[in-house]
Amino acid sequence: MATTGVMRPGHIQLRVLDLDESVAFYKDVLGLVETGRDAAGRVYFKAWDERDHNSVILRQADRAGVDLIGFKVKDKATLEQLDKDLQAYGVATERIPAGELLETGERVRFTIPTGHVMELYAEKTDVGNGQPYTNPDPWIAASEHGIAPHRFDHCLLYGPNLEENLKLFTEVLGFHLVERVLLEDGKSLLATFISCSHKAHDLAFVAHPEPGKLHHLSFLLDSWEKVLRAADIMSMNRVSIDIGPTRHGITRGSTIYAFDPSGNRFETFCGGYETYPDHAPITWTFDEVGAGIFYHDRKLNERFLTVVT
Amino acid sequence: MATTGVMRPGHIQLRVLDLDESVAFYKDVLGLVETGRDAAGRVYFKAWDERDHNSVILRQADRAGVDLIGFKVKDKATLEQLDKDLQAYGVATERIPAGELLETGERVRFTIPTGHVMELYAEKTDVGNGQPYTNPDPWIAASEHGIAPHRFDHCLLYGPNLEENLKLFTEVLGFHLVERVLLEDGKSLLATFISCSHKAHDLAFVAHPEPGKLHHLSFLLDSWEKVLRAADIMSMNRVSIDIGPTRHGITRGSTIYAFDPSGNRFETFCGGYETYPDHAPITWTFDEVGAGIFYHDRKLNERFLTVVT
Amino acid sequence: MATTGVMRPGHIQLRVLDLDESVAFYKDVLGLVETGRDAAGRVYFKAWDERDHNSVILRQADRAGVDLIGFKVKDKATLEQLDKDLQAYGVATERIPAGELLETGERVRFTIPTGHVMELYAEKTDVGNGQPYTNPDPWIAASEHGIAPHRFDHCLLYGPNLEENLKLFTEVLGFHLVERVLLEDGKSLLATFISCSHKAHDLAFVAHPEPGKLHHLSFLLDSWEKVLRAADIMSMNRVSIDIGPTRHGITRGSTIYAFDPSGNRFETFCGGYETYPDHAPITWTFDEVGAGIFYHDRKLNERFLTVVT
Amino acid sequence: MATTGVMRPGHIQLRVLDLDESVAFYKDVLGLVETGRDAAGRVYFKAWDERDHNSVILRQADRAGVDLIGFKVKDKATLEQLDKDLQAYGVATERIPAGELLETGERVRFTIPTGHVMELYAEKTDVGNGQPYTNPDPWIAASEHGIAPHRFDHCLLYGPNLEENLKLFTEVLGFHLVERVLLEDGKSLLATFISCSHKAHDLAFVAHPEPGKLHHLSFLLDSWEKVLRAADIMSMNRVSIDIGPTRHGITRGSTIYAFDPSGNRFETFCGGYETYPDHAPITWTFDEVGAGIFYHDRKLNERFLTVVT
Ligand SMILES: [Ca+2]
Ligand SMILES: [Ca+2]
Ligand SMILES: [Ca+2]
Ligand SMILES: [Ca+2]
Ligand SMILES: [Fe+3]
Ligand SMILES: [Fe+3]
Ligand SMILES: [Fe+3]
Ligand SMILES: [Fe+3]
Chain centre distance of CA B171: 21
The parent domain of residue B68 ranges over 6-144
C1 neighbourhood in chain D, CB within 8 Å: 4-5, 174, 277
Task: Examine the domain organization and report whether D193 and D67 are in the same domain.
Answer: no
- From CA C211, how far away is CA B236, in angstroms rounded? 36
User: Which chain D residue has the Cα nearest residue B146?
Assistant: D141
CB distance A178 to A194 below 8 Å: yes
Which residues of C are catalytic, by number? 154, 201, 216, 248, 257, 267
The nearest CA of chain B is from the CA of D126 a distance in Å of 25
pLDDT digits (tens, 9 = 90+) for A166-209: 999 999 999 999 999 999 999 999 999 999 999 999 999 999 99
Contact D138 B225 (CB under 8 A): no
pLDDT digits (tens, 9 = 90+) for D106-120: 999 999 999 999 999
pLDDT digits (tens, 9 = 90+) for D110-153: 999 999 999 999 999 999 999 999 999 999 999 999 999 999 99
**Whether residue D245 has a cis bond before it, omega within 30° of 0:** yes
E-strand stretches of chain D: 6-16, 33-37, 43-46, 56-60, 65-73, 94-96, 107-111, 117-121, 151-159, 176-182, 189-195, 203-207, 213-220, 240-247, 254-259, 265-270, 282-284
A273 is a domain residue: yes
Q: Residue type at C144?
A: E
Q: Could you tell me the strand order of the sheet in which A189-195 lies? A: A241-247, A254-259, A265-270, A213-220, A151-159, A203-207, A189-195, A176-182, A282-284
Of the candidates A1, A49, A295, the beta carbon closest to that of B4 is on A1
Task: Examine the domain organization and report whether B157 and B278 are in the same domain.
Answer: yes
| CATH code for the domain of C205 | 3.10.180.10
- From CA C307, how far away is CA C301, in angstroms rounded? 10
- From CA A71, how far away is CA A11, in angstroms rounded? 7
CB distance A308 to A205 below 8 Å: no
Of the candidates B138, B144, B225, the beta carbon closest to that of D223 is on B225
Closest ligand to C-alpha of residue D18 is 4
The question of whether B201 is a catalytic residue gets the answer yes
Mean pLDDT over residues D262-272, rounded?
97
E-strand stretches of chain C: 6-16, 33-37, 43-46, 56-60, 65-73, 94-96, 107-111, 117-121, 151-159, 176-182, 189-195, 203-207, 213-220, 241-247, 254-259, 265-270, 282-284
Judge whether residue D1 has pLDDT over 50: no
pLDDT (0 to 100) of residue A3: 65
- From CA C29, how far away is CA A106, in angstroms rounded? 46
Judge whether residue C107 has pLDDT over 80: yes
- From CA C83, how far away is CA C12, in angstroms rounded? 20
Does any CB of chain B come closer than 8 Å to the CB of residue A273?
A: yes
Closest ligand to C-alpha of residue D265 is 8
CB distance C110 to C92 below 8 Å: yes
Residue B175's nearest CA partner among B281, B79, B249 is B281
- Bridge-partner residues for C118, per DSSP? C69, C110
Mean pLDDT over residues C66-79, rounded?
97
The question of whether D288 is a catalytic residue gets the answer no
pLDDT digits (tens, 9 = 90+) for C238-274: 999 999 999 999 999 999 999 999 999 999 999 999 9
Catalytic member of B11, B53, B150, B154: B154
Q: What are the two backbone dihedrals, phi and then psi, of residue C130, each rounded to the nearest 5 degrees? A: 85, 5
A1 is a domain residue: no
State the distance from the centre of ligand 4 to the C-alpha of D15, rounded, in angstroms. Answer: 14
- From CA A41, how far away is CA A49, in angstroms rounded? 25
CB distance D145 to D139 below 8 Å: no
The question of whether D248 is a catalytic residue gets the answer yes
Contact B198 A126 (CB under 8 A): no
D51 is a domain residue: yes
State the distance from the centre of ligand 8 to the C-alpha of B222, rounded, in angstroms. Answer: 29
- CB under 8 Å to B101, separation ≥6 — which residues? B11, B38, B44, B54, B57, B70, B107
Q: Quick check: helix, strand or coil at residue C224?
A: helix
Q: Where a domain ends, among D144, D174, D196?
A: D144
Task: Examine the domain organization and report whether C128 and C258 are in the same domain.
Answer: no
Contacting partners of chain C (3+ CB pairs under 8 A): A, B, D
Mean pLDDT over residues D274-280, rounded?
94
Does any CB of chain C come closer than 8 Å to the CB of residue D296?
A: no
CB distance C94 to C109 below 8 Å: yes
Closest ligand to C-alpha of residue A155 is 5
Question: Between residues D87 and B302, which one has the greater pLDDT?
Answer: D87
**pLDDT bracket for residue B301 (50, 70, 90):** confident
Does any CB of chain D come closer than 8 Å to the CB of residue B236?
A: yes
Q: Where a domain ends, among B116, B144, B172?
A: B144
Mean pLDDT over residues B41-56, rounded?
98
**pLDDT bracket for residue C177 (50, 70, 90):** very high
For chains A and C, what is the number of CB pairs under 8 angstroms? 14
Judge whether residue B208 has pLDDT over 70: yes
Of the candidates A223, A232, A235, the beta carbon closest to that of C225 is on A223
- CB under 8 Å to C208, separation ≥6 — which residues? C158, C159, C160, C308
CB distance B256 to B234 below 8 Å: yes
- CB under 8 Å to B287, separation ≥6 — which residues? none
- Per the prediction, chain A carries an average pLDDT of 97
Element (H, E) at D224: helix D224-236
In chain A, residues 127-166 whose CB comes closer than 8 Å to chain C:
137-139, 144
- Per the prediction, chain B carries an average pLDDT of 97
User: Which chain D residue has the Cα nearest residue C169?
Assistant: D1
Q: Name the CA radius of gyration of chain A, rounded.
A: 18
Mean pLDDT over residues A92-104, rounded?
98
CB distance D138 to C295 below 8 Å: yes
- From CA B181, how far away is CA B112, in angstroms rounded? 20
Contact D295 A235 (CB under 8 A): yes
Task: Examine the domain organization and report whether A167 and A298 are in the same domain.
Answer: yes
| Helices B224-236 + C224-236 axis angle, to 10 | 100
Q: Residue type at B228?
A: L
Q: Using H for helix, E for strand and C for coil, what is the string for chain B?
A: CCECCEEEEEEEEEEECCHHHHHHHHHHHCCCEEEEECCCCCEEEECCCCCECCCEEEEECCCCEEEEEEEEECCHHHHHHHHHHHHHHCCCCEEECCCCCCCECCEEEEECCCCCEEEEECCECECCCCCCCECCCCCCHHHHCCCCCCEEEEEEEEECCHHHHHHHHHHHCCCEEEEEEECCCCCCEEEEEEECCCECCCEEEEECCCCCEEEEEEEECCCHHHHHHHHHHHHHCCCCEEEEEEECCCCCCEEEEEECCCCCEEEEEECCCECCCCCCCEEECHHHHHHHHCCCCCCCCHHHHHCCC
Task: Examine the domain organization and report whether B140 and B177 are in the same domain.
Answer: no
Q: Quick check: helix, strand or coil at residue D121?
A: strand
- CB under 8 Å to A38, separation ≥6 — which residues? A44, A101, A102
C233 is a domain residue: yes
Task: Examine the domain organization and report whether D197 and D85 are in the same domain.
Answer: no
Residues shown for chain D: 309
Question: Between residues D4 and B22, which one has the greater pLDDT?
Answer: B22
- What ipTM was predicted for this assembly? 0.97
D6 neighbourhood in chain C, CB within 8 Å: 2
Closest ligand to C-alpha of residue A152 is 5
Task: Examine the domain organization and report whether B159 and B126 are in the same domain.
Answer: no
- CB under 8 Å to C302, separation ≥6 — which residues? none
pLDDT digits (tens, 9 = 90+) for D292-308: 999 999 999 889 888 99
* Burial B129-150, CB ≥16 within 10 A → b, else e: bbbeeebbbbbbebbbbbbbbb
Chain centre distance of CA C84: 25
Q: Which of D227, D296, D298 to mutate to test the interface with A (most CBs of A within 10 A)?
A: D296
D70 is a domain residue: yes
For chains C and D, what is the number of CB pairs under 8 angstroms? 138
pLDDT digits (tens, 9 = 90+) for A5-62: 999 999 999 999 999 999 999 999 999 999 999 999 999 999 999 999 999 999 999 9
Contact D234 A296 (CB under 8 A): yes
- Bridge-partner residues for A11, per DSSP? A70
The question of whether A154 is a catalytic residue gets the answer yes
C210 is a domain residue: yes
Task: Tally the C-alpha atoms within 13 A of residue D63's C-alpha that lie toward its C-beta.
Answer: 6
Task: Examine the domain organization and report whether B225 and B300 are in the same domain.
Answer: yes
Contact B241 C297 (CB under 8 A): yes
Catalytic member of D150, D154, D208, D215: D154
pLDDT (0 to 100) of residue B157: 98
pLDDT digits (tens, 9 = 90+) for D202-261: 999 999 999 999 999 999 999 999 999 999 999 999 999 999 999 999 999 999 999 999
Q: Residue type at A209?
A: P
Domain count, chain D: 2
Catalytic member of A53, A150, A201, A208: A201
pLDDT digits (tens, 9 = 90+) for B72-84: 999 999 999 999 9
Catalytic member of B50, B119, B179, B267: B267
Residues shown for chain C: 309
**pLDDT bracket for residue B149 (50, 70, 90):** very high
Task: Examine the domain organization and report whether B43 and B109 are in the same domain.
Answer: yes
The question of whether A216 is a catalytic residue gets the answer yes
CB distance C101 to C11 below 8 Å: yes
pLDDT (0 to 100) of residue D2: 59
Closest ligand to C-alpha of residue C256 is 7
Judge whether residue B273 has pLDDT over 60: yes
pLDDT (0 to 100) of residue C1: 46
pLDDT (0 to 100) of residue A1: 46
Contact D228 A232 (CB under 8 A): no
User: Which chain B residue has the Cα nearest residue C243?
Assistant: B297
Does any CB of chain B come closer than 8 Å to the CB of residue A238?
A: no
Task: Examine the domain organization and report whether B229 and B249 are in the same domain.
Answer: yes
Contact A278 B72 (CB under 8 A): yes
**pLDDT bracket for residue C2 (50, 70, 90):** low
Mean pLDDT over residues D41-62, rounded?
98
Of the candidates D3, D175, D195, the beta carbon closest to that of C276 is on D3
Question: Between residues B2 and A138, which one has the greater pLDDT?
Answer: A138
pLDDT (0 to 100) of residue A305: 86
Mean pLDDT over residues A250-279, rounded?
96
Task: Tally the C-alpha atoms within 13 A of residue A51's C-alpha that lie toward its C-beta.
Answer: 18
C109 is a domain residue: yes
Task: Examine the domain organization and report whether A232 and A266 are in the same domain.
Answer: yes
CA angle D122, D126, D129 (to 5 degrees): 130
Task: Examine the domain organization and report whether A186 and A114 are in the same domain.
Answer: no
- From CA A162, how far away is CA B34, in angstroms rounded? 40
Does any CB of chain D come closer than 8 Å to the CB of residue A295?
A: yes
Q: Using a pLDDT cut of 90, give the percent of chain A over it.
A: 96
- Bridge-partner residues for A193, per DSSP? A179, A204
For chains B and C, what is the number of CB pairs under 8 angstroms? 49
CB distance A180 to A284 below 8 Å: yes
Greatest Cα pair distance, chain B, in angstroms, is: 56
pLDDT (0 to 100) of residue B1: 46
In chain D, residues 39-68 whose CB comes closer than 8 Å to chain C:
49, 51
Q: Where a domain ends, among D79, D114, D144?
A: D144
State the distance from the centre of ligand 4 to the C-alpha of B112, rounded, in angstroms. Answer: 66
Mean pLDDT over residues D151-161, rounded?
98
Total Cβ atoms within 10 A of residue B111: 16
In chain C, residues 189-208 whose CB comes closer than 8 Å to chain D:
195-199
Phi/psi class of residue B224: alpha, beta or left (left: φ > 0; alpha: ψ in -120 to 50)?
A: alpha
D292 neighbourhood in chain A, CB within 8 Å: none
SS3 content of chain A, % helix, strand, coil (to 5): 20, 35, 40
D1 is a domain residue: no
pLDDT (0 to 100) of residue B305: 87
The nearest CA of chain B is from the CA of A196 a distance in Å of 5
